[in-house]
A = this chain, B = another copy of it.
Amino acid sequence: MANLELMRELQVASSGKIVMLVIDGLGGLPMNPGGPTELEAARTPNLDRLAAESLCGLSVPIGPGITPGSGPAHLALFGYDPLQYEIGRGVLEALGIGFDLHAEDVAARGNFCTVDEEGRITDRRAGRIPTERNVELCELLRGIKLPEVQIFVETVKEYRFVLVLRGEGLAGGLTETDPQRLGVPPLPVEALVPEAERTARLFNQWIAQAKEILADQYPANMVTLRGLAKNPGLPGMKEIYGLRSAAIATYPMYRGVAKLVGMEVLDTGESLEEELETLRSHFADYDFFFVHVKKTDSAGEDGDFERKVAIIEHVDELVPAILDLKPAVLIVTGDHSTPALLKSHSWHPVPTLLHSPYCRADQTDEFSERGCSRGALGRFPAMDLMPMAMANALRLTKYGA
């Protein structure tokens, strides 16, 4: 919170705009010892040229050795301490599909799953049923009623849905029902704190009714619930930084986390060109832009080194157009690393550059893991990026007399 309190105290009005380009899962690893990482293998003349005029370093999303999920990793980029502000997956999914979450709501991420006759899970994703089937099943589940609470069941995608309970006196602090393995039945929801006991009972009642309704809907004949929690009620970016902030992102999760910190989520298309066009057409309207590129992470998760390289090269081609908009500060970073070698998020720090007329450029002339490791920022906490962006946009006054 120290960071945020300082920002709140020191921020001043200014016209300089900040663009934070987040290339999801940007950091990588060599496929063979001594070889290039994805970013090093990619031809990135524009990012390299930009690095030469920038302050560079490797950002540590959460802490040394810690592999972040997408939620905490993005909170850190926006300057919020991810170890202080924990966000439930249910909240993120609800916000991501545009659900109007209220402060007293408890949201859960639901999965349709398959159980055998003894109720033991045989497929945690119900054969990845199509989204249309999900829509029909959610409609059935909307028939469930519980005393004194409103219930919302909303389709996300394929086997995923969101369940929201709304009413007075509901509380977070609840266990998940997904046992995370096959051959055992779903677990009951349990209260981790006394004030959540009624909420736990309500969720368990809902699950019991859902089980009956879904009994003949094989393979989606049961549900599990994860990340049951309330919106943590983060202070917004406008309040903290004085920044009118906008998010340009295609995936629900990232749109969700942006809303959590008070950003406007702009309508945009699926392609990078469409995201860029959205940035261009709204550039006059906001002070801060979070521009999210998802597909690098997906390629890394798939273990597809070459595809990740190709997407990075595609991003590189769009950099001049971003610079043409003349942001006061341009940050290029990732939320975490997703090396194709590991096929998953990882703990490795993330190549990062910060460009502004006042950045005091270092001697890095290559936007890469090795290049950024020699940058003047060194290894630094991702949480430090926003204060540096604010300073370089001349949006902070001095501390003390």
User: Which A residues lie at the B interface, using CB under 8 A?
Assistant: 2-3, 6, 10, 29-30, 33-34, 37, 53, 58, 62-73, 82-83, 86-89, 92, 227, 339, 341-342, 344-348, 357-358, 360-363, 369-370, 373-374, 376-380, 384, 386-392, 396-401
Docked-complex contact B66 and A360, CB < 8 angstroms: no
A359 to chain B minimum Cβ distance, whole angstroms, is 9
A66 touches which of B83, B362, B399 (Cβ 8 Å)? B399
Q: How far is the CA of A87 from the CA of B401 in the complex (A)?
A: 8
In the complex, residue of chain B having the shortest beta-carbon distance to the beta carbon of A89: B401
A89 to chain B minimum Cβ distance, whole angstroms, is 4
Docked-complex contact A358 and B341, CB < 8 angstroms: yes
| Copies of this chain, tallied across the complex | 2
A31 to chain B minimum Cβ distance, whole angstroms, is 11
In the complex, residue of chain B having the shortest beta-carbon distance to the beta carbon of A61: B399
In the complex, residue of chain B having the shortest beta-carbon distance to the beta carbon of A93: B401
Q: How far is the CA of A86 from the CA of B9 in the complex (A)?
A: 14
Which 8 pairs across A and B sit closest by C-beta, in order of nearness? A65-B387, A69-B400, A65-B391, A72-B400, A373-B376, A89-B401, A64-B384, A67-B398
Docked-complex contact B401 and A66, CB < 8 angstroms: no
A243 to chain B minimum Cβ distance, whole angstroms, is 14
Best-surrounded residue of A10, A376, A397, A398 (most CB of chain B within 10 A): A398
Docked-complex contact A2 and B83, CB < 8 angstroms: yes
Docked-complex contact A347 and B400, CB < 8 angstroms: no
Q: How far is the CA of A399 from the CA of B64 in the complex (A)?
A: 12
Docked-complex contact B53 and A33, CB < 8 angstroms: yes
A36 to chain B minimum Cβ distance, whole angstroms, is 12
Q: A400-B69, A401-B69 are in contact. Are A361 and B64 (CB under 8 A)?
A: no
Q: How far is the CA of A396 from the CA of B64 in the complex (A)?
A: 12
In the complex, residue of chain B having the shortest beta-carbon distance to the beta carbon of A3: B63
In the complex, residue of chain B having the shortest beta-carbon distance to the beta carbon of A395: B65
Residues of B within 8 A of A71 (CB): 400-401
Docked-complex contact A64 and B387, CB < 8 angstroms: yes
25 A-B residue pairs with CB within 8 Å: A2-B63, A6-B83, A10-B66, A33-B357, A34-B53, A37-B360, A62-B399, A63-B384, A63-B387, A64-B380, A64-B387, A65-B384, A65-B389, A65-B391, A66-B399, A67-B396, A70-B400, A70-B401, A71-B401, A72-B400, A82-B399, A88-B401, A342-B358, A346-B391, A373-B376
Q: A66-B396, A398-B68 are in contact. Are A376 and B379 (CB under 8 A)?
A: yes
